[in-house]
């Protein structure tokens, strides 16, 4: 366990939650402070109360003019300065990239659905340690990507984009390792226009995907364990 056994989770939209990661944290005895992002709620947080910070996804862009995104980047910078480990997923990873001096921009095309992720040597030695296959199948739902400063370690890639990186005590993961069937059903309803625009059916994301969901649960558990155990080293 950690020093405080308290976890801060920032959600950027109601339906994008910790998913499987939340259950792992609760099973390990952590207490989760789960807030929906807004300027005042983020400003009021005292990082010394927390062992880890999780920043989750959302449909907005880092470059959108929302004051809560500015506050999230300030919080990430403060967490890095005070060596409080941060894990960002999807939009959360893009916020970390921006906060550490990278550039976030619209990608050549969106990645939505199941797709390959290739782990780098640095990834195998850190957040993806003991993952059984160097190439894994993960769930994606993003349109933006990023460039990173030189001092950042790239931990995983796809054919199109950087998929995971580490900057000091912060890890960004562009893909979704936390999702289950119900989360994807919820997203498919909320983001139906996006699926329609890209000619993707909600059924194609779920049908005959039991094995993929099972493998993703195993992956998320291993990444969670590595994040918890190794990031302070």
- CB neighbours of 225 closer than 8 A, spacing ≥ 6? none
Pick the catalytic residue from 9, 90, 100, 169: 90
Q: Confirm if 153 and 126 have CB atoms less than 8 A apart.
A: yes
Q: Report the first-to-last Cα separation within the chain, whole angstroms.
A: 15
Judging by DSSP bridges, how do beta strands 52-55 and 86-89 pair with one another?
parallel
Q: What string of DSSP letters covers 20-85?
A: HHHHHHHHTT-EEEEEE--HHHHHT--GGG-SEEEE---SS-TTS--HHHHHHHHHHHHHHHTT--
- Whether 178 is catalytic is yes
90 in catalytic set: yes
- Active-site choice (16, 71, 111, 178): 178
* DSSP β-ladder status, 162-167 and 153-157: antiparallel
Is 100 designated active site? Answer: no
Are 96 and 55 in contact by the 8 Å Cβ rule? The answer is: yes
Q: What share of the chain is helix, strand, coil (3-state, %, to 5)?
A: 35, 30, 35
Q: Are 221 and 177 in contact (CB under 8 A)?
A: no
Structure tokens at 98: 């921006």
Question: Annotated catalytic sites, by residue?
Answer: 90, 176, 178
């Amino acid at each position: 366990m950690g020093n405080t056994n308290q976890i801060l989770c920032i959600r950027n939209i109601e339906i994008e939650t910790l998913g499987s990661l939340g259950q792992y944290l609760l099973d390990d005895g952590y207490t989760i402070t789960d807030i929906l992002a807004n300027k005042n709620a983020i400003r009021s947080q005292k990082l010394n109360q927390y062992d880890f910070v999780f920043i989750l996804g959302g449909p907005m862009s880092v470059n959108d003019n929302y004051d809560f995104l500015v506050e999230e980047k300030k919080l990430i910078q403060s967490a890095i300065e005070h060596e409080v480990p941060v894990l960002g997923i999807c939009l959360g990873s893009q916020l970390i990239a921006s906060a550490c001096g990278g550039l976030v921009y619209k990608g050549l095309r969106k990645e939505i659905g199941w797709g390959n992720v290739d782990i780098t040597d640095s990834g195998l030695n850190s957040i993806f340690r003991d993952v059984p296959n160097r190439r894994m199948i993960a769930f994606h739902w993003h349109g933006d990507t990023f460039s990173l400063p030189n001092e950042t370690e790239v931990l995983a890639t796809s054919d199109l984009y950087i998929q995971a990186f580490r900057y000091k005590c912060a890890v960004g993961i562009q893909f979704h390792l936390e999702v289950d069937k119900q989360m994807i059903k919820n997203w498919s309803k909320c983001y139906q226009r996006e699926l329609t625009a890209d000619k993707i059916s909600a059924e194609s994301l779920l049908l005959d995907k039991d094995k993929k969901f099972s493998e993703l649960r195993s992956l998320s558990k291993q990444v969670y364990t590595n994040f918890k155990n190794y990031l302070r080293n």
